[in-house]
Structure 1
Amino acid sequence: MSDVILEFEDVAASYNGAIAALHGVSLTVRSGEFAALLGANGAGKTTLLKAASNLLPAERGRITRGHIRFRGQDVTSASPDAHIRKGLVPVLEGRRLFKSLTIEENLVTGAVGRGFGRARIAAGLEQVYALFPRLATRRRSVAGLTSGGEQQMAAIGRGLMAAPEVFVLDEPSMGLAPLVVAEIFEALSRLNRETGLTLLVAEQNSSVALKHAHHATVIENGRSVLCGPAAELAGREDIKASYLGGAATAAPPIQVRS
C-alpha cells in the first residue's frame, strides 16, 4: 500500500464565491488501502468528497486553494463521468436510487454508464449479490419500496457495477440500524481484503469506521486536525474533542510515514 492513488493537498473550497466550506485539508489514499474520513456533521466531509470527483461546479462550488490528484492528475481537469470511466467512483450521501426502478435495474445502471456489455453486467450482478445476499432476494422489488438498508446496499452495489479502482463513499451508515451498518462495513472490508479495492469512506460513526479502516483522517470546521493509523486513533481520547470543537489540537497529530 505504498503507492498514492488519491491525494488531497491543503484543499480549500467555497460555494457561491463566498461561503467557505474547506480551509485546508490534506490526506493521502494509497492503492489497496481502506481510508476513513471522520468528522461531525458540517465538518466538510461531503464537500471534500464531491471535490474529489469534480462535482463542486454543479453546486456553484470550487476549489480555491490546494490540489486534489487522482493518479497524479488534477481532478479538475476531467469531468465527473470521465472520472468514473477512469475508476474513481463515488457513492453520494442519500443513496439517490431511481425509486421507480427495481433493485436490479438500479444496479444495471451502474454498468451501463461504463458501457459494459451483457457478460460484464452478469458478472457484476453475481459479485453484488454474493456481497449482499439480501439484494438477491429483493432484485425484482421496486427500490422505493425497500428498506433504508437495502437501498444503501443497492447504492453501493450500483457503484461496484462500474468497476471502481477507488471507491469513495459518503456516510454509508446514515440513518441505518447498527446491525445493518455492521453488515455494510463488513462487506466493504471484505471487498478491500479479497479484491484489493481502494476505499475512502466518510463517516460520522467513528467507532465502526476505525474498526475496519487502515488509516483515518479527522476533519473539523473544514480543516484536517488528526491523522494516523486507525488502530491508534481509536485509542485516543482527543478524537472526541475534535468532534465537539474542543482541544482537538492539544495532542500532536499522528503522522504516517510512507
Structure 2
Amino acid sequence: MSALLAFENVAASYNGAIAALHGVSLEVRAGDFAALLGANGAGKTTLLKAVSNLLPAAGGRITSGRILFDGRDVTSHSPAEHIRRGLVPVLEGRRCFKSLTIEENLVAGAVGRGFGRGQVTRGLEVVYALFPRLKERRRVAAGLTSGGEQQMAAIGRGLMAAPRLFVLDEPSMGLAPLVVAEIFEALSRLNREMGMTLLVAEQNSSIALKHAHHATVIENGRSTLSGAAADLAARDDIRDRYLGGKVAALA
C-alpha cells in the first residue's frame, strides 16, 4: 500500500538563512495514527506547516526534498486547496474565533470545505458525540470557554471539514491531564471507529505513545528514530535519551 503522506529527504529554512529541517524522511499510511515526538524547537511545527504548505506564510520554504500527499507535491496546492482535498490541519494554540459561539466556530470548518446544510448537520452530530461538552456549550462565545473547550472546538472545526488526513500540532499544550486524556481518547476513537488517518506532533510523549501506532522522533530538525509506538515506549534507552524518561506504561 502506498503512503497517503510521504516526506522524502525534506530540508527547510526560514528567511533563506535559518535551517529548520535537515533531510527528514517518513511515511504515513492510510488508517495510521502517527506521532511526531520531540522537544520544543526540534522542528515538529515546521514539519507540520510544510505538510499544509503554510511555511511560506511564516517566511519559510522547503529547500530540498519533497512532501507528497496522495501522490502530489504539497507545494503545488494552496492551504485552502489542501483542505478541500481532505488534508486538514489544527495549528497549535487553540485557535478559535473568540467572538463566535462554539457552534459558529464548528460550522466555519464545514463552510471552508464548501459543505452544504446536510453535511453541516451530520458533522455537528459527529463532533457533539465525540465532545459532549461542546454540545452543552454550543451557544457560548468561544472566548468565554475554558482552554480545554477551546481546544476541543478547534479540533471539532477541523473535523467538520471531513479530513482524510488530520494533522494536529501539540493538542495537549497547556491543558490539564484529564482534558489531555479526553482529547487523545477522542482522537483514538476517530482512528479506530472511522478509520481516520492522523499525524500528531506532541511533546507529551507518554500520551502520544499510548495512543499512536507509529512514532518518529525529531531532534534538531532531523528524524532520528522511527518505529512502532509500543516498541519505542518499551525501550529504556529511548525513554532516557529522547523522551526524558517519562514514558508511562501503556494501558
Same fold (TM over 0.5): yes
For 1:221, the equivalent position in structure 2 comes to: 220
RMSD: 0.9
> 1:225 and 1:40 mapped to 2: Cα distance?
13
Matched residue type, 2:67: I
Alpha-carbon offset, residue 219 of structure 1: 0.5
Alpha-carbon offset, residue 3 of structure 1: 3.5
> 1:46 and 1:144 mapped to 2: Cα distance?
25
For 1:153, the equivalent position in structure 2 comes to: 152
SS in 2 for 1:113: helix
For 2:242, the equivalent position in structure 1 comes to: 242
- Verify the 8 A CA contact 1:225 1:242 in the aligned structure 2: no
> 1:115 and 1:12 mapped to 2: Cα distance?
33
Alpha-carbon offset, residue 237 of structure 1: 2.2
| Residues 66-81 of structure 1 mapped to structure 2, 5 A cutoff | 66-81=65-80
| Residues 166-205 of structure 1 mapped to structure 2, 5 A cutoff | 166-205=165-204
Alpha-carbon offset, residue 92 of structure 1: 0.3
> 2:243 and 2:35 mapped to 1: Cα distance?
15
- Verify the 8 A CA contact 2:10 2:23 in the aligned structure 1: yes
> 1:243 and 1:133 mapped to 2: Cα distance?
33
Which TM-score applies when normalising by structure 2?
Answer: 0.95
- Verify the 8 A CA contact 2:53 2:75 in the aligned structure 1: yes
> 1:140 and 1:236 mapped to 2: Cα distance?
47
Matched residue type, 1:123: R
Identity %: 80
Which TM-score applies when normalising by structure 1?
Answer: 0.93
Alpha-carbon offset, residue 238 of structure 1: 2.9
> 1:94 and 1:179 mapped to 2: Cα distance?
18
- Verify the 8 A CA contact 2:37 2:205 in the aligned structure 1: yes
Matched residue type, 2:163: P
Matched residue type, 1:242: Y
Q: Which stretches of structure 1, 4 residues or longer, exceed 4 Å deviation after superposition?
A: none
For 1:249, the equivalent position in structure 2 comes to: none
> 1:238 and 1:218 mapped to 2: Cα distance?
13
Alpha-carbon offset, residue 57 of structure 1: 0.6
> 1:117 and 1:212 mapped to 2: Cα distance?
33
> 1:113 and 1:41 mapped to 2: Cα distance?
30
> 1:6 and 1:35 mapped to 2: Cα distance?
11
1:36-93 Cα offsets, whole Å, 9 max, x none, are: 0000000000000000000001111000111100011110011010000000000001
> 2:229 and 2:214 mapped to 1: Cα distance?
5
Alpha-carbon offset, residue 173 of structure 1: 0.2
For 2:249, the equivalent position in structure 1 comes to: none
Alpha-carbon offset, residue 243 of structure 1: 5.1
- Verify the 8 A CA contact 1:10 1:24 in the aligned structure 2: yes
SS in 2 for 1:210: helix
Matched residue type, 2:191: N
For 1:115, the equivalent position in structure 2 comes to: 114
Alpha-carbon offset, residue 145 of structure 1: 0.8
- Verify the 8 A CA contact 2:205 2:243 in the aligned structure 1: no
- Verify the 8 A CA contact 1:106 1:154 in the aligned structure 2: yes
- Verify the 8 A CA contact 1:3 1:30 in the aligned structure 2: yes
SS in 2 for 1:4: coil
SS in 2 for 1:134: helix
Matched residue type, 1:160: L
Which sections of structure 2, spanning at least 5 residues, go unmatched?
245-251
Matched residue type, 2:192: R
> 1:202 and 1:194 mapped to 2: Cα distance?
21
